[in-house]
A and B are shown apart, each in its own frame.
Chain A
Amino acid sequence: MKKSGGKLRKGGKPDSEILVKLEMESNPESLCIVRATIERASEVLHFRETETRAIVRSVDEALANVMRHAYAGAPGKPIEITCRRVHVSENGRGLGGMEIVLQDRGTKIDPKKLRGRRLDEIRPGGLGLHFIRECMDVVEFSRKKGKNQLRLLKYLRPADPEARSEGE
């Protein structure tokens, strides 16, 4: 599974199109609203149900991490979410996909600390990042102009070969 990269296509058509842009505050009660919005956006792009759940889960976990770590649980702090339909090239193939970028003005996060914990440990906590990495094709963190930025990308893959052969 590729965890970085995903180049935008160069050509006549637009590389990306904004599906929805949200501004929210770091209040956990608002997470359900974002989940519902991302779910609908994924459905519009025709992601399968399992993929839609994976995207929703990733965005939710990423937002929870912003609230808990970047803002240390403080409510009322700004978070921006931009969700785009994108065209990417992977290994020379053109693919559609969904890109979600989260931005916050919280504490600078050390990328070296962005590691999920070992799963053989039976203890609470530390699972969120593991969920994100398992569910998304691209997970990129950066810090720009005083903002933490997390870029998530999920490729829209054609139906698996088994499903295709059944239909042929």
Chain B
Amino acid sequence: MKIAARESQGSTIFDVSGDIDLAHSPEMRKALLGEIKVKKIPKVFLNLREVRYIDSSGIASLVEGLKASRDMGSRLILYGLSTTVREVMQLSRLQKIFEIYDSEEQALAS
């Protein structure tokens, strides 16, 4: 898994690629919580277009990020979900609790 961070108008965009699995979900969690809780970034975007696989530990790291953003009064926004990621979101019945958009353009305009 690779995570690259970009800045856009005071927000952070993480471009994530590869597999968010048991080996890599701690890194995902650390990156999210660092932006949300430590840097107190008001909007954090996760670009998941290049994510090939996500497991339950990866979903758990996103849920932790979401909870932290709610505690901080900020927003965690996901976009570009692949079929695999969408399936796992549906299986965990979490797709409705996340802000999810198809494209970066739509996400940034939200």
Residues of chain A whose beta carbon lies under 8 Å from any beta carbon of chain B: 28-29, 31-32, 35, 50, 53, 57, 60-61, 64, 67-68, 119-120, 122-128, 130-131, 134-135
Contacts and interface: CB of A to CB of B under 8 A. Distances in A.
Given A28-B22, A124-B61, 17 more contacts: A35-B19, A57-B55, A64-B57, A67-B22, A124-B59, A124-B60, A124-B64, A124-B67, A125-B56, A125-B60, A126-B56, A127-B56, A127-B91, A128-B56, A130-B91, A130-B92, A135-B91
Contacts of A60: 21, 53, 55
Interface of B: 19, 21-23, 53, 55-57, 59-61, 63-64, 66-67, 84, 87-88, 91-94, 97
Given A124-B60, A124-B63, A119 B92 contact: yes
A28 B63 contact: no
Contact of B19 (A32, A50, A124, A131): A32
20 contacts: A28-B21, A28-B23, A31-B23, A32-B21, A57-B88, A60-B21, A61-B55, A61-B56, A64-B21, A64-B55, A64-B56, A68-B22, A122-B66, A122-B67, A123-B67, A124-B63, A125-B60, A127-B59, A128-B55, A130-B92
